[in-house]
Amino acid sequence: MAEKLKEYPEIKPPEGSQFWKTGFFKELAPIDHENFWYIRCASLLRKIKKFGPIGVNKLRKYYGGKNRKGPGRHHSAKGSGKIIRVALQQLEKANLIVKQDKKGRIVSPEGTSLLERTAYAILRK
């Protein structure tokens, strides 16, 4: 799916995104920063199709992790909202998702077609 998203001119990593961490609880930015943006966009598209209509806050919970501070208990932490927000805006520009009033985002018919064509091509292999 990430390879197909590379063909869309609207979807490209923002300037400086190779230095962004995916959450405050992480120590480093993603190592594979060339492909990370496309993989995250593909993952967001799939999650919106599966759980939509969905908003940024719920997606932050899905991309969250464990916040480990010292010897105490571990607590859950949310993922980076800016990465999710910018990726969703790019997917909207590419007409793969649409925003519903007060409900969140859903996959557009064009996005559904792309997901199903990709799944069919993988199934045929």
- Taking only the tens of pLDDT, the chain with its 125 residues reads 989 999 999 999 989 888 888 888 888 888 887 789 999 999 999 999 999 799 999 999 999 888 887 888 888 899 989 999 999 999 999 999 999 888 899 999 999 999 999 999 999 98
How many beta carbons lie within 10 A of that of residue 51, not counting itself? Answer: 12
Give residue 54's pLDDT.
Answer: 93
Query: What φ, ψ does residue 5 adopt, rounded to 5°?
Result: -70, -20
Give residue 9's pLDDT.
Answer: 92
Domains annotated for the chain, with CATH where assigned, are: 2-124 (1.10.10.10)
Residue type, 124: R
Which residue is it, tokens 């967001």? 44
Give residue 45's pLDDT.
Answer: 94
Q: List, as one string, the DSSP characters of 2-58.
A: HHHHTT-TT--PPTTGGG--SSTT-SS--S-HHHHHHHHHHHHHHHHHHH-SB-HHH
Give residue 52's pLDDT.
Answer: 79
Contact 62, 46 (CB under 8 A): no
Give residue 33's pLDDT.
Answer: 76
Report pTM.
0.88
Residue type, 56: V
Please report, to the nearest 10 degrees, the dihedral formed by the alpha carbons of residues 99, 115, 45, 14 taken in order: -100
